[in-house]
């Protein structure tokens, strides 16, 4: 009897889906909303698909990590607002139906690694202290995995989950990635709204239409973001970063100004959009997973790919309105 029970249990166990099987590209591409969100904190196919579709629509969920977190909820609410849909819930059948209309193309596609993807140069380790970064010639990626994740707007964990046993270091290898959105060159932004409480950035066309949305880290109690209306005065790709001792950042001991060279792991990332109040801007980050989940030093911090998109749609003189929304919880 015991042997029969053991054999039955083993048979049942063998019939269970293998760990990670649900994260195969076909499962993600075929994922559908059945009026109930997945529970738990595991990466799941529906969350990946929803995030990828929002990204295509320019209603950014920030880093695509395969989880229904706060940034996804913010993006879904903005997407519902822009499309005249109720947004009382995180995801509704009406919102899901509208998302389906964005594109019929697969959200996970196959990509072949090139020499540019794997050759670097990469830095062995990113120093944790700000002043220790000033000696580096370039604030490059630390690995091809980090570079690929950022290029395809993904978390490193998601990239690894959908590419088991891949090392991302061999030219010609095929990997699965999020299909990048087509860049809508025709979008021209006439006004930007930064919500300091909700930690969001919205962009509007000349006729007042909400055309894009991004999560952001916006100031702190120690270093608050400006109030009122400012204007864009500069747009600088691949910026260097200059630290001034008057900033008095926690953990920085230097009493002299210093400069940190450009690169995606620069403190302001790959793009700086300067504002009309000295020292303040909208910029990228070396830590995309922490956008809207950590404080900034007074500026508006976004993922590198989001701020690059924003920079392509604005010009000098565009107004940036800072509004006091309901305080977001971290």
Nearest to 314 by CA among 248, 234, 195: 234
What lies within 8 Å, CB to CB, of 225 at 6+ separation is: 194, 196, 218, 219, 280, 296, 298, 299, 300, 322
CATH code: domain 191-323 is: 2.40.440.10
Crossing angle, helix 93-100 and helix 45-56, to 10 degrees?
60
Instruction: Report pLDDT for 3.
Output: 42
Q: Bridge partners of 212?
A: 203
* Rg (alpha carbons) of the chain, rounded to whole number: 22
Question: Token digits for 59?
Answer: 């209603």
Question: Token digits for 70?
Answer: 């706060």
In terms of pLDDT, which residue wins out, 261 or 243?
261
304 within 8 A of 153, measured Cβ to Cβ: no
DSSP at 64: B
Q: What is the pLDDT of residues 279-327, one digit of tens each?
A: 899 999 999 999 988 766 679 999 999 999 999 999 999 999 999 876 5
Residue 226 CB: number of other CB atoms within 10 A?
19
Domain edges within the chain: 2-100, 108-178, 191-323
Q: What is the pTM of this model?
A: 0.89
Mapping DSSP to helix (H, G, I), strand (E, B) and coil, where does residue 271 land?
strand
Q: What is the pLDDT of residues 48-60, one digit of tens each?
A: 999 999 999 999 9
Pairing of strands 319-323, 174-178: unpaired
Residue 157 CA to residue 145 CA, distance in Å, equals: 10
Q: What is the pLDDT of residues 184-235, one digit of tens each?
A: 556 899 999 999 999 999 999 999 999 999 999 997 666 778 899 999 999 9
Residue 55 CA to residue 300 CA, distance in Å, equals: 19
Residue 181 CA to residue 18 CA, distance in Å, equals: 31
Residues annotated catalytic, as ranges: 283, 299
Instruction: Report pLDDT for 330.
Output: 41
Q: Bridge partners of 176?
A: 110
Question: Token digits for 259?
Answer: 């400069």
Pairing of strands 319-323, 191-195: parallel
Instruction: Report pLDDT for 225.
Output: 85
């Amino acid at each position: 009897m015991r042997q029969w029970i053991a054999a039955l249990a083993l048979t049942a166990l063998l019939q269970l889906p293998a760990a990670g099987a649900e994260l195969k590209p076909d499962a993600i591409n075929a994922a559908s909303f059945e009026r109930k969100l997945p529970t738990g904190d595991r990466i799941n196919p529906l969350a990946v698909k929803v995030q990828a579709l929002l990204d295509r629509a320019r209603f950014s969920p920030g880093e695509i990590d395969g989880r229904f977190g706060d940034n996804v909820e913010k993006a879904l609410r903005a997407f519902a607002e822009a499309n005249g849909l109720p947004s009382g819930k995180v995801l509704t059948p009406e919102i899901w139906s509208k998302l389906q209309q964005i594109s019929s193309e697969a959200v996970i596609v196959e990509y072949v690694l090139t020499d540019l993807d794997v050759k670097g140069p990469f830095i062995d380790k990113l120093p944790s202290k700000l002043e220790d970064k000033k000696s580096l010639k370039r604030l490059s990626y630390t690995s091809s995995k980090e570079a690929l994740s950022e290029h395809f707007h993904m978390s490193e964990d998601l990239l690894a989950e959908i590419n088991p046993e891949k090392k991302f270091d061999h030219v010609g290898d095929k990997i699965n990635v999020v299909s990048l959105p087509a860049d809508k060159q025709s979008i021209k932004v006439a006004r930007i709204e930064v919500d300091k409480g909700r930690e969001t950035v919205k962009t509007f066309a000349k006729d007042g239409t909400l055309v894009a949305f991004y999560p952001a880290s916006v100031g702190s109690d120690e270093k608050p973001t400006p109030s009122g209306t400012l204007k864009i005065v500069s747009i600088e790709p691949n910026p260097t970063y200059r630290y001034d001792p008057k900033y008095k950042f926690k953990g920085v001991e230097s009493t002299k100004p210093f400069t940190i060279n450009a690169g995606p792991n620069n403190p302001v990332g790959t793009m700086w959009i300067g504002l009309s109040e000295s020292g303040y801007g909208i910029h990228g980050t070396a830590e995309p997973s922490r956008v809207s989940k950590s404080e900034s030093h007074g500026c508006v911090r976004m993922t590198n790919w989001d701020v690059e998109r924003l920079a392509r749609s604005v010009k000098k003189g565009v107004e940036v309105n800072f509004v006091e929304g309901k305080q977001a919880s971290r």
